[in-house]
Amino acid sequence: MNFLPASHPLADGRTSDAPLIRALRGDRPERVPVWFMRQAGRSLPEYRAIRADHRMLDACVNPELASEITLQPVRRHGVDAAVFFSDIVVPMRLAGVEVDLVAGRGPVFAHPVRTAADVARCRAEFTADRLRDALDQVREAVRLTVARLGGTPLVGFAGAPFTLAAYLVEGGPSRDHLRARTLMHSDPETWRELLEWAADLSGVFLEAQVEAGASAVQLFDSWAGSLSATDYREHVAPASRRTLDAVRGLRFGHPLREGYAAHAATVPMIHFAVGSGHLLEELAGVGVSAVGVDWRTPLDEASRRLGDTVTLQGNLDPAYLGAPPEQLEEHLEDVLRRGSRAPAHVLNLGHGVPPETDPAVLTRIVELAHAR
Ligand code: CP3
């Protein structure tokens, strides 16, 4: 167990009472906190202006640019959280894996990882220590951002081991992740080693963001929805838990006496997977403060399934962002009403902001949610 520095925003009080942090701790602040997955990105003209001169993965490791892009949606929309500008493949790339992000396609790996020998090579060559040594710019980007955010919390994030492994095994995007799921069943031991390695890289990435000042983290499992609950539980959940253990080990606050470290506060964690209505119990089961729900499962039903014990995040259907204002407002009211069943609610989308979204619509949602 490690203690965060006294200057961390959760330790010095800057963000500890922010609406997002209170909601993630199970409280209902005066106003419902709201942020949007993928709020930093393609929907903003000011983002596109920066990106005209910089490649995605270069921007991610440029502290000034990454910080500026992270702050853009906070300034524009007045959201209750910033989400760190990065991508799920950044830790892989910094550990040495040859990967590129191809616009309109997705992450493309030069060498797909398919055999026991491929996995052994990854584990030997692209180690967590190598990643740790390559994180200076990411830490600097987080520090700059947090210094500029004041009382608004920064959410750090990482890709979940299954999603990363699915890309690695396939070599790029795929519809059903068949090769990855076949490896899981045909060679469970190699699969476990692959997931543990991916889990450690994501864990190191999260840990660095929190140490540098992030006040919460979100684990994104874009493709876990393609798994049955049994497969998720047996072959994936242990690795996601392992990633989050890196954050669970970080505490803040100073226990009065030695041996009381377990009573110091932990950093809130959000777990989100797309198409995961059948996995809610499993997502909560890895030990998190909040579960992100996609737009397919109503929040009241999700809360009932979880015994009304976990903060829920979500779950506006991104399709409504392009609908007329009356329909959008009705949908927003419905989501807030259903969300009121959960112990606490963080308003968000049920997946990321679509690139063609009119940013004014996002600003309007924040205003409406805050005005209630
Ligand atoms: O809330 C967040 O910002 C979430 C963080 C996140 C990003 N990417 C940030 C990002 C997550 C979870 C991803 C996942 C991801 N990355 C996926 C999985 C699908 C999903 O939506 O969950 C995929 C396919 C990628 C790959 C990717 N990322 C591509 C192909 C590109 C475009 C490359 C380019 O040159 O623009 C990205 C860019 C990216 N990732 C941005 C952000 C904020 C910036 C541009 C954008 O909004 O897409």
Q: What confidence score (pLDDT) does residue 255 get?
A: 66
pTM of the model: 0.96
How would you list the strands of the sheet with 345-349, edge to edge?
A: 82-83, 154-159, 216-221, 269-273, 290-292, 311-316, 345-349
For atom 26 of ligand 1, the residue with the nearest CA is: 106
For atom 24 of ligand 1, the residue with the nearest CA is: 106
Mean confidence (pLDDT) of the chain: 96
Over residues 183-237, the pLDDT tens digits come to 999 999 999 999 999 999 999 999 999 999 999 999 999 999 999 999 999 999 9
Catalytic (active site) residue 187: no
Mutate to test the pocket of ligand 1, among 56, 321, 356 (most ligand atoms within 8 A of CB): 56
Over residues 144-185, the pLDDT tens digits come to 999 999 999 999 999 999 999 999 999 999 989 999 999 999
Q: Of the candidates 220, 114, 223, which has an alpha carbon nearest to the alpha carbon of residue 174?
A: 223
pLDDT surpassing 80 at residue 260: no
Work out the angle at residue 271's Cα, subtended by the Cα atoms of residues 241 and 31, and round it to the nearest 5 degrees: 140
Over residues 60-99, the pLDDT tens digits come to 999 999 999 999 999 999 999 999 999 999 999 999 999 9
Task: Please state the separation of Cα 280 from the chain's center in Å.
Answer: 16
- Decide whether any atom of ligand 1 lies within 6 Å of the 94 Cβ: no
Mutate to test the pocket of ligand 1, among 101, 163, 202 (most ligand atoms within 8 A of CB): 101
Q: What confidence score (pLDDT) does residue 263 get?
A: 72
Lowest mean pLDDT segment, chosen from 102-106, 139-143, 333-337:
102-106
Q: Are 38 and 357 in contact (CB under 8 A)?
A: no
Catalytic (active site) residue 48: no
Q: What confidence score (pLDDT) does residue 295 get?
A: 98
- The confidence band for 256, taking pLDDT boundaries of 50, 70 and 90, is low
Residue that has been written with the tokens 């253990």 in this structure? 245
Q: Which one from 25, 28, 31, 38 is the annotated catalytic residue?
A: 38
Residue-range domains of the chain with CATH: 2-287+343-351 (3.20.20.210)
